[in-house]
Amino acid sequence: MVASIKHTLVASVEDKPGVLNRVASLFRRRGFNIESIAVGHSEIAGLSRMTIVVDGANTAVEQVEKQLYKLVDVVKVTDITSDSMVARELALVKISSTTATRSEILQIVDIFRANIVDVAPDSVMVEVTGDENKIDSLLDLLKGFGIKELVRTGRVAMVRGTDGGSPIDEESVQKITRRRKK
Amino acid sequence: MRLNGAQILCEGLVKEGVDVIFGFPGGRVIQFFDTFAQYPQLHFVLVRHEQAAAHAADAYARVTGRVGCCVATSGPGATNLVTGIATAHLDSAPMVAITGQVDRPSLGRDAFQEIDITGITLPITKHNYLVMNADEMAETVKEAFHIAGTGRPGPVLIDVPSDVWVEQSEFKYPEKVDLPGYKSVVKVYPEQVKKAAKAISGAKCPIIIAGNGVIISDAYAELKELAEKAQIPVINTLLGIGCFPQKHVLYYGMTGMHGMAYANYALSEADLIIAIGMRFDDRVTSKLSTFAPRADVVHIDIDAAEIGKNVKANVPVVGDIREVLTELNKDIEKQSHADWLNQIDQYRAEHPSHEIRDCANILPQNVVRAIAEVSGGDAIIVTGVGQHQMWAAQHSIINKPKSFVSSGGLGTMGYSLPAAIGAQMGRPGETVWSIDGDGSFQMTLQELATIQQERLPIKIAILNNGYLGMVRQWQEFFWGKRYVATPITGPDFVKIAAAYGVPGEVVSDRNEVKAAIEKATNYDGPYLLDFRIEPEENVFPMVKLGSAICELLEQPKSEVKTW
């Protein structure tokens, strides 16, 4: 068995209806096991950026990359795992709280540089950003108070420095721009 | 120029060189069909079931190398295309399928005959489109044909809501496509070609497995040059039949589950496999962990995702086969592998695989051989799926590429008759033989009506054994001879044909096989021959499921007579 290595893939895809469906359908059909997928706009109008996390232990990452490339709407795929990157995830957690526990929760939140974004009589909502380990640790500490609700975005990532992890060539950018004008 | 969506699509089809469309009308394509009258250069072929339209378009594409085209209405019309689209997808046949859809206001409301056909065909098309306004139509058609016909070819579906057919738009056909995520031209890396050449010069026992990619890329001359220069034996996959001259001294037949024993032995002994335009299907490799244990692999394919998918490639070369082989041939020096070739010749002498036993009844292999003899190997052979398909593959003589048409990847029973229609429309002057089984034929025999309607001189040979023979063979070998659901009755095929206006006859005497085939060949029009063959004849050789390819069941020697 291959050792568990979490691969971070960045896919630049055309911002069109059904693209996420195509990607998800491909993963399902080929039995690719995806840990997380996060999608949003990129710096180029008409181009969305997906950050996909795949466990190399149970999925052939190279196949994921190649099969993604075959989708017509996918412009570029890069495996940035071995690059120096910044990887972040955001989580919102609603925790049971009483006047007695609130200050303790606040302390933990402070240590993690997280924020309280909502306070109710019987709960607080915490917003935390960081890598998966940091969020896992915070959740571990907060578990004792009672987690009422949790939402995580999945990883988004970017390569450090000027090289960039997934530069789109000028020709592709022009094509995307032309397509948007039509 | 102001045109409506239907006219724009027709203009696009004409610009893309389409001359035949196979299809079936319905409520959501009336508007499109109504436009055909304005485009006499588009010949419309009315089939009797949409599946046949897709198979015909697929086969038209396979025998011509051009993009085939089919059309169906929304809902059941579209879903009936699905088997045909999947067949084309798995065998990389270029095709554009057009479907009608409910009008835009009804979309998503489960309207009458509404089905999400773009959703359904997502995993079985190279790409698909839902055209949401007439302004997108011209570009969509241009892109669809470009995607279907370039790179690794495949089917593309265009779904058109019925109100888009009649919506007006300014027509201007784009000269080029703007597809940022699709590269039709794959750059060949010279260093990979160099590595391949080096691997080939270092090999003692190299073998070439040639597949459909050689045919799609028209790389016959280049393949021959490579084989001859380096003296490498050539075997092919089922879909590779016809890509290398069958009488060539370096040719060693088809490999795979029902391949020639000596081809499989050679493959198992080889120290280098040069895989060209093939995808290591499980019907070729059998049990992967036992496949070609000694061989390094040079894998040449235009689809990078095929390389390393099933079998690890030591030297991956991505690119168009003809382009790669042209470059590769420059780097290849003359070689000789006399010992290796002698060894395979020895295998062939010991395990001829082609031998046919003696039998009082008609043997299907002899029917296929008689067709080969009478046609001189110049006929287009179109098969269904099952035992007859394997006999056709083993015993046909195919002189020209793009002349053996068979559903390899999906294994679609019922393919032969509708595919023969597409093949005959694509190459009108040539003899087309539909070699079919009695089970396979019954799945799509309604297309006799289309054959008669279009006056297509297709010759039909039914190898009639009263069984779903391939499954029966498995039951015989692996399921204790319990023939569950495999004995199959049929109608009187000659009477059925006659009812459709197609003449035919039953052949049950082995001495009359050749004369019947000659008669059918010389008949000016379609003709059906119902060959009553030995009912429990088996396909040999056969690799048992889960075994290595060199562990074959062969025709028992005691039964073999020399021919």
Residue of chain B whose Cα is closest to the Cα of A173: B180
**Mean pLDDT within B533-557:** 92
Subunit contact A72:B305, Cβ cutoff 8 A: no
Which of B126, B309, B318 is best to mutate for the A interface (most A CBs within 10 A)? B309
Q: Which CATH class, in words, describes the domain spanning B356-539?
A: alpha beta
Subunit contact B308:A63, Cβ cutoff 8 A: yes
Q: What is the CATH number of domain B2-170?
A: 3.40.50.970
Residues B397, B379: Cα–Cα separation, whole Å: 9
Least confident of A29-33, B305-309, B391-395, B431-435: A29-33
Which residues of chain B lie closer than 8 angstroms to A167, CB-CB? none
Subunit contact A72:B147, Cβ cutoff 8 A: yes
**Mean pLDDT within A98-103:** 94
Subunit contact B179:A67, Cβ cutoff 8 A: no
Q: Which of B439, B364, B419, B433 is nearest to B395 (CA)?
A: B364
Q: How high is the pLDDT of residue B225?
A: 98
- Cβ-Cβ pairs closer than 8 A, A with B, add up to 50
Please check the confidence at residue A165 and state whether its pLDDT lies above 60: no
Q: How high is the pLDDT of residue A1?
A: 44
Q: How high is the pLDDT of residue A170?
A: 85
Backbone angles phi, psi at A26, to 5 degrees: -60, -45
> DSSP labels for B206-249?
EEEEE-HHHHHTT-HHHHHHHHHHHT--EEE-STTTTSS-TTST
Which residues of chain A lie closer than 8 angstroms to B147, CB-CB? 72
Q: What is the pLDDT of residues A107-153, one digit of tens each?
A: 999 999 999 999 999 999 999 999 999 999 999 999 999 999 999 99
Same fold yes or no, B190-350 and B356-539: yes
Domain spans of chain B, in order of start? 2-170, 190-350, 356-539
A62 touches chain B (CB under 8 A): yes
Residue A3: pLDDT band with limits 50, 70, 90: low
Residues B120, B108: Cα–Cα separation, whole Å: 14
Please check the confidence at residue B563 and state whether its pLDDT lies above 60: no
Q: Is B259 exposed, middle or buried (0-12, 13-18, 19+ CB in 10 A)?
A: buried
Q: Which of B317, B348, B319, B276 is nearest to B193 (CA)?
A: B317
Beta strands B356-357 and B315-318 are: unpaired
Residues B410, B520: Cα–Cα separation, whole Å: 30
Subunit contact A182:B135, Cβ cutoff 8 A: yes
Which residues of chain B lie closer than 8 angstroms to A14, CB-CB? 180-181
Q: Which amino acid does the sequence have at B192?
A: Q
Please check the confidence at residue B480 and state whether its pLDDT lies above 80: yes
Subunit contact A175:B179, Cβ cutoff 8 A: yes
Unique residue bearing structure tokens 């960045």: A10
A147 touches chain B (CB under 8 A): no
| CATH architecture for the domain at B190-350 | 3-Layer(aba) Sandwich (3.40)
- Partner residue facing A179 (CB), from B119, B126, B178: B178
Q: What is the pLDDT of residues B339-375, one digit of tens each?
A: 999 999 999 999 988 888 889 999 999 999 999 999 9
CA distances from B8 to B3, B28, B38, B154 (A): 6, 17, 12, 23
Subunit contact A63:B309, Cβ cutoff 8 A: yes
Please check the confidence at residue A181 and state whether its pLDDT lies above 50: yes
Residue B142: pLDDT band with limits 50, 70, 90: very high
Sign, CA dihedral B262-B268-B272-B275, equals positive
Which residues of chain A lie closer than 8 angstroms to B310, CB-CB? none
Residue B220: pLDDT band with limits 50, 70, 90: very high
Domains (ranges, CATH) in chain A? 6-83 (3.30.70.260), 86-156 (3.30.70.1150)
Which residues of chain A lie closer than 8 angstroms to B130, CB-CB? 18
Subunit contact A72:B139, Cβ cutoff 8 A: no
Please check the confidence at residue A164 and state whether its pLDDT lies above 60: no
Subunit contact A13:B181, Cβ cutoff 8 A: yes
Subunit contact B308:A62, Cβ cutoff 8 A: yes
ipTM of the complex: 0.89
Q: Which of B20, B98, B59 is nearest to B407 (CA)?
A: B59
**Mean pLDDT within B449-463:** 98
